[in-house]
Structure 1
Amino acid sequence: MAATLGLVLAEVFGGILGRSVALLNDAVHNLSDIPALGISYLAMHWAERPADTEKTYGYHRAGTLAAYTNAFVLVLLSLWLGYEAFERLRSPVEVVESWMIWTSVAALAVNGGITLALVRGRGDLNLRSILIHNFGDALSNVAIIAGALIIHATGARWIDPLLGLAIGLLVLWSSAGILRESSHILLEGRPQKNVRGASVVSRRRPPRAQSSRARPGYASRRMRAPARLD
């Protein structure tokens, strides 16, 4: 989180001096990583806590709740970024390309390193939300660098707000899938995998041993199937 905070300050500084809305939007995007990482860190620890008298099923859904919270915040943030970029498209300003390039190079090194470190944990929904988030950050850094080079070569000022709009759309697209999947789990939706196998096993039981109500669900990374036997 310390590296992310330093990155945010660097992008704000570079965005102000370079008059780049894309860089400032990316700084706000990276700023959302700080509470996201904090929530996810606490969620991973809560998920390991045993069940108690109040939480009789344990805390295994803490990570899913954190993923939902992160994705919801990102959806709101992407809408705001898109509005700001649209306003700048209507009134473009001169930017300093050198500040955009060197600040984005430093940001790319940080975001790329975090993304590579999280690749192994992509099977976990909570970690995948952070992975996608940081991967989007790295892509936006690459886009800003390329855009700054094009602005320097052509003088097309509209490229900077266009990049800001693209960053907002990228955040919206990447977070929508996690928001949909995490809400599906929190609302006790049926798992998309292994349901057919569970139904086959149920049909093979004797009539009196069959469950009258078997509802497969999620339990952390595993599937559970609570049932009532007649």
Structure 2
Amino acid sequence: MVVVITAGILVAELLGGWWSGSLALLADAGHMFSDLGALAISWFALWFSGRPATSSKSFGYYRMEILCALANGVLLAVLALVVFAVGWTRLQSPPEVRTTAMIWVAVLGLSANLVAVAVLRPSARHSLNVRSALAHLIGDTLSSLGVIAGGVTMAFTGWYLVDPLLSMLIAVIILVNAWRLIREAVDVLLEATPGGLDAEKVARSMAEVSGVHQVHDLHIWSITSGMPALSGHVVATDEPGLSQDQLLNRVKQMLLERYHIEHTTLQVESPAYEEVGHVH
């Protein structure tokens, strides 16, 4: 449904921007086009990432979602730079704009964007790729509001310089969303500690588990958005009657309940164990 709505409004804004002569409305249409591409890429990524793991790709295809989110961010950034450049050239001699057509098309676009945001928002918490599509739509919603305000201003004042200025403002909004999306995708690809998790705090919590003497070589990363993973070495105490399996389950249970980390790989060691090779 979101794709159909987006495609329909894209056509309306392209025709409305051409008819009214509004660069701001055309910029909004360009953002809508990127929305449509983002939704298509998102659906492809979600379908592809569901393929089963293989012996050569033991984690499966979860990272396809992140790669597609990165592509969405780059697409947004390029679009923003193009719109800003065209707006800058129009500042020298802003053309007259048919404000009535501009305003009504922008109102139609705003209504469609609000519906699309409401549909996607519940799923955005658990998927970076859906968040990327939602970022496109939220940016376009703000753009539509700006286009309406600009159209009303030009209708009452005849100050057509508002149109290129507004298109440049839309470009900046798009660029900010693109930067946030690119940064989040790159963090996952670089296996940075997921947002909301403090590796030092997690290590202290593990060390406080009964039977744990020390924790070292701890790594926390994301396989994909909403799927944190952890690996580390746990040095056991000499607690009588405590097996390695019991200690392992204590630590894993704490990580699951307190930090919602389900995918864990832990090596349990005795205090006398000497490491072989380089560990970091």
TM surpasses 0.5: yes
- What is residue 24 of structure 1 aligned with on the other side? 26
Select the residue among 74, 80, 83 that pairs with 1:81: 83
The aligned runs of 1:1-230 (5 Å cut-off) are 1-123=3-125, 124-192=127-195, 193-203=197-207, 205-206=212-213, 210-211=215-216, 213-220=217-224, 221-227=226-232, 229=267, 230=275
Moved more, 196-205 or 36-45: 196-205
Check conservation: 2:27, 2:167, Cα contact below 8 A: yes
Cα deviations by residue, 1:95-124 (Å, 9 ceiling, x for unpaired): 000110111111111111001112212312
- What is residue 272 of structure 2 aligned with on the other side? none
Moved more, 12-21 or 41-50: 41-50
**1:40 match: secondary structure:** helix
Unaligned runs of 5+ in 2: 234-266, 268-274, 276-280
What amino acid does structure 1 have at the position aligned with 2:106? S
Cα distance, 1:16 vs structure 2 = 1.1
Cα distance, 1:219 vs structure 2 = 2.6
Cα distance, 1:176 vs structure 2 = 0.8
Cα deviations by residue, 1:122-141 (Å, 9 ceiling, x for unpaired): 31221111112101111111
Provide TM-score, normalisation by structure 2.
0.76
What do you get for the CA RMSD once the two structures are aligned? Answer: 1.7
Identity of aligned residues (%): 32
**2:59 match: secondary structure:** coil
Cα deviations by residue, 1:166-218 (Å, 9 ceiling, x for unpaired): 110000011211111110111111223142343124545346xx55x321111
**2:91 match: secondary structure:** helix
Larger radius of gyration: 2
Cα deviations by residue, 1:15-41 (Å, 9 ceiling, x for unpaired): 111011111111111111222111100
More helix by share: 1
**1:87 match: secondary structure:** helix
What amino acid does structure 2 have at the position aligned with 1:61? R
Unaligned runs of 5+ in 1: none
Check conservation: 2:5, 2:116, Cα contact below 8 A: no
Provide TM-score, normalisation by structure 1.
0.92
**1:39 match: secondary structure:** helix
Q: Distance in 2 between matches of 1:137 and 1:90?
A: 26
More strand by share: 2
Matched residue count: 227
Q: Distance in 1 between matches of 2:166 and 2:38?
A: 24
Q: Distance in 1 between matches of 2:100 and 2:10?
A: 18
What amino acid does structure 2 have at the position aligned with 1:97? T
Check conservation: 2:34, 2:136, Cα contact below 8 A: no
Check conservation: 2:42, 2:129, Cα contact below 8 A: yes
By relative contact order (CA 8 Å, sep 6+), the higher-ranking structure is 1
Q: Distance in 2 between matches of 1:80 and 1:144?
A: 18
